[in-house]
Amino acid sequence: MTSPEPGAPLLELSHVSRVYGEQVKVYALRDVSLQVRAGDHLAIIGPSGSGKSTMLGLLGVLDRPSEGTVTVGGVDSGALPDDERSRLRGDSIGFVFQQFHLIPHLDALGNVATALLFRGLTKAERAERAMAALESVGLGARADHRPVQMSGGEQQRVAIARAIVTEPLLVLADEPTGALDSTNAAMVMEIFAGLETSERAVVLVTHDHGVAATANRVVSMRDGAIVSDVVQEPKAFEGAR
Amino acid sequence: MSRVRDLVSVAVAGIAARKVRTLLILIGPIVGVAAMVGAVGLTESAKGDLRQKLAELGTSLITVEAGNTFGSKAATLPKDSVRRVDAVATVESASAVAEVKNVVTLPITGGRDYYQAFPVPVLATDTRLPGVLQVPLRSGRWIDGSDVRDHGRVAVIGGALADQYGVLPGEARTIQLNGNDYGVIGVLDRVALDPSLDNAVFVTQWAAKNDFGTDGAPTKMFVRALPDATQRTADALPTAISLGGTTEVSTKIPSDALQASSQADKTLQQTALFAGLLALAVGGLGIANVMSISVIQRSSEIGIRRALGSTRSLIGLQFLLEALFVGLLGGLLGALLGVGVVYLVSAIAGWVVVIDYAKMPIWISLAVFVAAIAGLYPSVKAARLEPLETLRLG
């Protein structure tokens, strides 16, 4: 696992642009700079088309910037070959998606343990750590249930357990409550609330102001640029807004 | 090592998760390998009884006769042929018989007219013949050294003749050869490789010379070659026997005919093998087809695995390994099915089962190979999927 120098940002976007198209260039993101530090519980908010999905791809090392640099844990991810980027992703970032993206043929424990594959762990070690992660999201009792046997909220909690089981620097969530009813959304947001630590940051990408209100820092985006970056007092989740 | 283990567990889980689909794509390799195993097994088993007989008889016996040059009278071999043959390095043992002409053989006193009409070959021979033929005596004993030394009038009779005469095991009896009483000391079992011996009466060289006035020159020889040297030995014998003389010598390997007839029908075998290969190839297309669709259906799984740190090559290997396991499992099940079919058909047809288990790894690897080729395209396709596109970010 990569660890940045103390005080250095976990994640840094420096003058990043993302351009689509060959002849006609469309800027999805234009000259964006952003630093994410340990302890940040950051919400990136903006309407659709504001560039937040592009931002998510870059933050998650799923995409390469057209210009500028994306530094993860002190490493310039854009300069790395594909395999190194995959490993960096696996080591440093935990993903939570709107559509959960659980593997249907694996049970909850198997889905969480999947994140621990190819790390030199035995099956028993993987299962032990996956079980601990499932218990931390309150699903220890449903370890042997498959995704189809679980509610959306439970599936999303499994996805969170999968995101944190590798102890990443950054938990990156894409509209984590987008597919959930309010009760389940509240339960999921409650789990997110305590996830940032002195070594870890949480980034929520959302268009939902209710979700953004739970963050201690809100970055607003519009038309491929950051329009505001505000530190705020986090509030409990009170439903989608 | 742990990477390989992880990869195997992921691939196995991937196959086990979709049982019906896996079963469907297993059919190709199963049918292909079963057809090939069955093709070889059935065509070989159809001749299984002959092969078993051949295995019992061996293929190292050579018969030697004087060449039948046109116009030559009863052709004989040189008198010391056995000694000459023994000098050949690849000869294990040799024995000779000399046919005695114009002998009337009577099993009982009287009935001379009847038995005269059915001449029985009388052969003067040595003590080594059953050993060279590797044929046991049905009862009694063969002519031995004391018979030769003591000039005894003893005879051994062939199995078929014994049946014809109604000789009972252990019965003490005599037969008359040109009026001389001969004690029957044994009955030779039937000689599968030279049935002409089954009707013969065997006597010592002394008796042949003394009672019937022959010169003892062999008319036929039996030579047992060392293993794997039969043909070479047969080729060398004419020179070894004639030693530059004028005797024409012809050799025969009597097991050759049996061997030829015990060969499986190669055309049929190849046709069936080809059909099996074709089934395997079509099965491979099926694997490629189903797995390609599977890659699209599992794009979310591929995306999340990539997001969780799997490299392109790991994703590709996962799918390739799934294909390999399908090939391996299909090959094993196919081999099992093929063997089962061979046993079943052989049981019904009354054949002796012949299955070359040493060839099984070839058939199974063939299935694995085809599956690997088939899995190549889906694997590359899976490896090339972009996680950003498959994860549908909000």
The answer to whether residue B306 neighbours chain A at the CB level (below 8 Å) is yes
Rounded Cα gap, residues B47 and A151, in angstroms: 65
- With an 8 Å Cβ cutoff, is B297 touching chain A? no
List of chain A residues with pLDDT < 70 = 1-7
Predicted structure pTM score: 0.74
Percent of all residues in chain B with a pLDDT value above 70, rounded to a whole number: 94
Nearest to A90 among B3, B18, B309 (CB): B309
Residue B390: closest CA among chain A residues belongs to which residue? A101
What's phi and psi for A89, nearest 5 deg?
Answer: -60, -50
At A1 the pLDDT is 46
Q: Which residues of B touch A101 (CB under 8 A)?
A: 300, 303-304, 307, 391
pLDDT, tens digit (0-9, with 9 covering 90-100), for B231-290 = 889 888 888 888 777 678 888 888 887 777 777 778 888 888 898 899 899 999 999 999
Question: Which pLDDT does position B272 carry in this prediction?
Answer: 85
Q: What band does B394 get if pLDDT is binned at 50, 70 and 90?
A: low
Taking each helix axis from N to C terminus, what angle separates A182-193 and A152-164, rounded to the nearest 10 degrees?
A: 20
Which chain B positions have a beta carbon within 8 Å of A100's beta carbon? none
Residue B183 DSSP code: E
Structure tokens at A147: 């995704």
Domain residue ranges in chain A? 37-62+80-231
Q: Which of B304, B310, B393 sits opposite A53 (nearest CB)?
A: B393
CA angle A223, A226, A229 (to 5 degrees): 150
Closest by Cβ to B391, choosing from A101, A123, A205: A101
Mean pLDDT of chain A: 91
The C-alpha atoms of residue A132 and residue A123 are separated, in whole angstroms, by 14
Q: DSSP assignment of A103-155, as one string?
A: -TTS-HHHHHHHTTTTSS--HHHHHHHHHHHHHHTT-GGGTT--GGGS-HHHH
Strand A26-36 and strand B174-177: the pairing is unpaired
Q: What is the pLDDT of residues B325-360, one digit of tens each?
A: 999 999 999 999 999 999 999 999 888 898 989 999
- ipTM, two decimals, is 0.92
Which option is the CATH number for A37-62+80-231: 3.40.50.300, 3.30.70.330, 3.40.640.10, 2.40.50.70? 3.40.50.300
Does the distance separating the beta carbons of A115 and B310 come in below 8 Å?
Answer: no
Span B189-210, average pLDDT = 89
Chain A residues within 8 A of B3 when measuring between CB atoms: 118, 120
**What confidence tens digit (pLDDT) does each residue in B292-302 have?**
999 999 999 99
List, as one string, the DSSP characters of B206-226.
HHHHHHH------SEEEEEEP
% pLDDT > 90, chain B:
43
pLDDT of res. B177: 86
Q: Cβ A62–B307 below 8 Å, yes or no?
A: yes
Determine the Cα–Cα distance for residues A87 and B37; give it in Å rounded to an integer.
Answer: 46
- Give B358: exposed, middle or buried? Use CB within 10 Å, 0-12, 13-18, 19+: exposed
Best interface-test mutation with A: which of B8, B18, B311, B390 has the largest number of A CBs within 10 A? B311
- B6/A contact by beta carbon, under 8 A: yes
B window 307-326, beta carbon within 8 A of A: 307-314
Predicted local distance difference test score (pLDDT) of residue B181: 87
